[in-house]
Structure 1
Amino acid sequence: MREKFFWVTCSSLLLMTSARPAPQIKNRPEIEQHYKKAQEALRAEQDAIAIREFRAILRLDPGNASAHANLGVIAFTEKDYAQASQEFRAALKLQPLLWNARAFLGMSELRLGHRAQAQPLLEESFKNVQDGSLKTKVGMDLITLYYQSKDLNQAVDVVRVLARIRPEAPDVLYTAYRTYSDLAARSLSALAQVAPDSAEMHQILAQALASQDNFPGAMAQYRKALETDPQLPGVHFDLGQVILANSQEEPARKEAEKEFALALAADPTNADSEYMLGEIEWLRSNPQGALERYSHALLFRPDFVDAHIAAGKALTSLGRPAEALAHLREAVRLDPQNEVAHYRLAQAHRRLGREPDAEREEATFRKLRDSHEPVRALFEQVQERPVMHQTIGPNEPQ
């Protein structure tokens, strides 16, 4: 659907409004007929007829701001930005608070290369436009301006607003990814210049190496970070994770266990460290010990999805599938797209002899697994992983 029709749809209540009180408008029935014909022409994508009808309205009612605004949107859609700007200015002269018209005027001025004029119009209208689609277009233009002026902090503020109003829009998600990535790159560059041998720089290098599966290199960088600043928050936990990622044999478990214990000493309510200590107990084939740790993690963070899944897994292993259901159902409620949660829930149902429920959850698991597979490798590469997620073992039936 084209933008001009969008404007008429959103502004139909404004079309009959002029800068003068309604009783002063003459020929209202005739104006209404022209409006009806203009709307029909827009639906049929007959621009010339729509323009003619809006011009007829202005001859009958020169103070009709919405007729100017509609003409402006037609011109904008046809990329005649100079004409669009002229029409929007005429509309705003009559009704200064037509925020949609102000937004389109800002977008028109930007496309004419008038950045200085466009920016305040876009900033003001972005705060006031109510329609999500138009607000997104204005926000995208603002982000372009902020990028050109190298003001990424302002761009981030706009991204946050767009993410709230259109959280699943691909263009918004891509823009958010790009903006945050560029802001991170800029911060890294600044850190490298002002403190190239700081604990934080070693921490970043460790994270980069870990993302490339260079776990020995990551461990070395985390240890350098701790040598530089033994109190650096989060490093003991991160080091414990890469130790386990590098090896899950008992010597590595003991080494990682020490790091998670140090993390808990610094923060006794650290749910992530409790959870990872539970994972170590699970690796030791100690489901009861693992369950105790997972339960502690959930005391500190009741919405910890992986801890719920792990607790359900441990309870099922201990022959307590009825208790496992509560944790696994909560995991599914918190994260309906988590395929492992559905898989473990199917296992618990099967242990209880609820075959139809088990088959339903297995079907959901397979559907999610298949839908996630094409992007799994990319997702695992770019996502931030604060803890090791629950997985399904290679020897488990799928």
Structure 2
Amino acid sequence: MLVLGRCRRGFKGIVTLACLFLVFLPFALARDSDDEALRHFAAAQRAQNAGQLDEAASEYLKVVQLLPNAAEAYASLGLVYNAQGKYADSAQALAKAEKLKPGLPGVSLYLGIDDLRMHQPASAVLHLRAAIRSEPKNEQAHTWLSEALSDSGQHDAALAELQKASLLFPSDPALLLDLSRLCRRAADQKIDRIFMTAKGSPLQHQIYGDIYKDQHAWSNAKAHYYRALELDTQWHGAHFGLGEIALQNQELDLASHEYHLELQTNPRSGAAMARLAEIALLENKPGDALTQFESAIKAAPEEAAHAVGLPPDPVAGKSDELAKDAQSSLRSALSQLEAAPPAPARSLAIAVVDLRLGQTDASLAAWKQFQQSAPHSNPSTTYQRALIQFDQQNLNAADVSVRSWLSTHPVDLQAVYLSAKIDQALSFSALQKLLELAPDSYPAHQALGDIYEESQNDNKALSEYKLAESMAPNLPGIHFSIGNLFVKLHREDDALTELQTALGMDQDNPEANAEVGAIYLNRLDPAKAIPYLEHAVQQENDLWSAHQQLGKAYYTQKEYTRATAELLLAVQHDPDGAARYQLGLVYRALGKNKEAGEQFEISRKIKLENLSHAKTEMTTFQKQLQ
């Protein structure tokens, strides 16, 4: 299940709905003898307001015994059960309320939440759509529907629903965090799809190179770009990536060499021409820069502008600080550019120089002049239109265009990669809005925690998650995030505390159950591990690592038949051969030596293949150092 970042409407929202039912209930009562039911209803309200949920449930049960046709009483009982985590009981009570009085406020919403908590996303979608029809501006209905769609595998629809919600509620920090996370998840899934489909291809190495480049892991990025070129000497993008690395490290001659090589394989690369123009500016050669910018604009104006950071790209972030001599060259070039006759190349050059010197307002003014005077590309396909819109940072339009193209060209992996980059940019854009809107909110601290964790800065991530936890201790997912970090930091006792807290809030959380089980197994306590691991795979059957851990636990307990069943599932996703090896141990314990030998051999081949791949990468890396 995707755990989104919002502090969903919890106890406070439930109390609000229950108070509404209290207003409605007297109208449902027709006899003086119903006064007793009303007294129990009021008592239930008081208990509910005080957080005494067991007592509240008991009082509501008395009401429904006295008034078996009072929909409001069943609805209130269902809300209390929901707050207690008794989702099956809640769904039963709410379904009764819905049958007695269709359209009662909040009932469809919480029926959908119950279904989602019980891992029935398809049913949840139906209820949540009904909730939106009843209350089109109910933010919770939209966000829960997005999660239900995601959990049912309708990822595009989930993202569209959350984008719709963000337009309805643009100032909600939690919604922006949800949107950012869902966009990032969509990007990751598309990258994973490419890696599975095009393993060992130049595109895979191009993507790895781009990822490492963005992380400033220069050596790894270079190795992958060189590997892409070894596989295809005419591959577009690898030389450009190498040029970007050299430029960011202020190695201008090397950067220029790589950009020229890119132009040999792709003569209409507006990005390479624009970067050569920027190098000319850094070398105080404004005349050469204008010539390069003119060529770049003629070839691909939008691509050229995007390559030099215009309009500002939320994924690229801020440029590294320039050395003093580079700043001096840019200032000298700027005075000469300002004396040049008006032209799109002049406007773009001035916008770039001002941007690099931190003169934001001046850069924006020159950028507007460029937009007004520069020619526009005429795309011949929807894919080309998507590329142009992405370069313009018109992300929503680019998303629509690339989805349209992929609907008729689903195996175009370059288009899939573009779609992933658009999703990534949308994710960063939402984060940017969040940090501007509410920099000290719990969603902002969660977002910073996500960023730090992704960049492997686990201690900073932990600090941010802890801040979010202190501001919203009942926030779904926060205790799991903290517990997961403690696992990575080898602080198992702290991890268990946080993960058990997460399970206290949601006992069916598959990832938390899997983590707790793995900790106990690591402590050589398979008896404690097994119930958690069993629950994890029951809730989410594609947790392959949990299947492997459970198989290992069963093996340790000498439950070989059950171990075999779990490991046969785990070997379907076994990138390092560990599950195959474990399955071999099980077969050997069963006396099936032939089957054991087969599994050991498969495991050995996987490990050798991985080692061979690593050696190839190292050889490529060593070559590029020579």
TM range (shorter): 0.5 to 0.7
The Cα offsets for residues 181-201 of structure 1, whole Å up to 9 and x where unpaired, read as 5413333235406xx646x44
| Match for residue 12 of structure 1 among 10, 19, 22 | 19
Q: Paired residues, what number? A: 319
> 1:160 & 1:189 partners in 2: Cα distance?
27
Of 72-81 and 124-133, deviating more is 124-133
> 2:188 & 2:93 partners in 1: Cα distance?
37
**Contact 1:202 1:225 (C-alpha < 8 Å) held by counterparts:** no
Partner of 1:271: 305
Partner of 1:189: 195
**Contact 1:3 1:77 (C-alpha < 8 Å) held by counterparts:** yes
Of 255-264 and 23-32, deviating more is 23-32
**Contact 2:71 2:100 (C-alpha < 8 Å) held by counterparts:** yes
Q: Return the offset for 1:289.
A: 2.3
- What does residue range 119-198 of structure 1 map to in structure 2 within 5 Å? 119-125=125-131, 130-133=137-140, 135-137=142-144, 139-146=146-153, 151-157=154-160, 160=163, 166-168=172-174, 172=178, 175-176=181-182, 179-192=185-198, 197=201
| Match for residue 285 of structure 1 among 308, 329, 337 | 329
- State the one-letter code of the partner of 2:330: N
Q: Secondary structure at the match of 1:17?
A: helix
Q: Residue 324 and residue 120 in structure 1: after superposition, are their counterparts in 2 closer, same or farther (change >3 A)?
A: closer
- What does residue range 313-392 of structure 1 map to in structure 2 within 5 Å? 313=359
Q: Return the offset for 1:42.
A: 0.8
Q: Return the offset for 1:70.
A: 1.0
- What does residue range 161-240 of structure 1 map to in structure 2 within 5 Å? 166-168=172-174, 172=178, 175-176=181-182, 179-192=185-198, 197=201, 200-210=203-213, 211=215, 212-214=217-219, 215-217=221-223, 219-220=225-226, 228=234, 238-240=241-243
Aligned alpha-carbon RMSD (Å) = 5.3
Q: Return the offset for 1:92.
A: 0.6
The Cα offsets for residues 147-191 of structure 1, whole Å up to 9 and x where unpaired, read as xxxx54444445545766554469737852662354133332354
| Match for residue 310 of structure 1 among 347, 356, 361 | 356
Q: Return the offset for 1:35.
A: 4.7
Q: Residue 41 and residue 381 in structure 1: after superposition, are their counterparts in 2 closer, same or farther (change >3 A)?
A: closer
Q: Return the offset for 1:74.
A: 1.2
> 1:380 & 1:266 partners in 2: Cα distance?
36
Partner of 1:367: none
Q: Residue 257 and residue 83 in structure 1: after superposition, are their counterparts in 2 closer, same or farther (change >3 A)?
A: closer
- State the one-letter code of the partner of 1:287: R
**Contact 1:35 1:57 (C-alpha < 8 Å) held by counterparts:** yes
| Match for residue 73 of structure 1 among 79, 92, 105 | 79
**Contact 1:26 1:60 (C-alpha < 8 Å) held by counterparts:** no
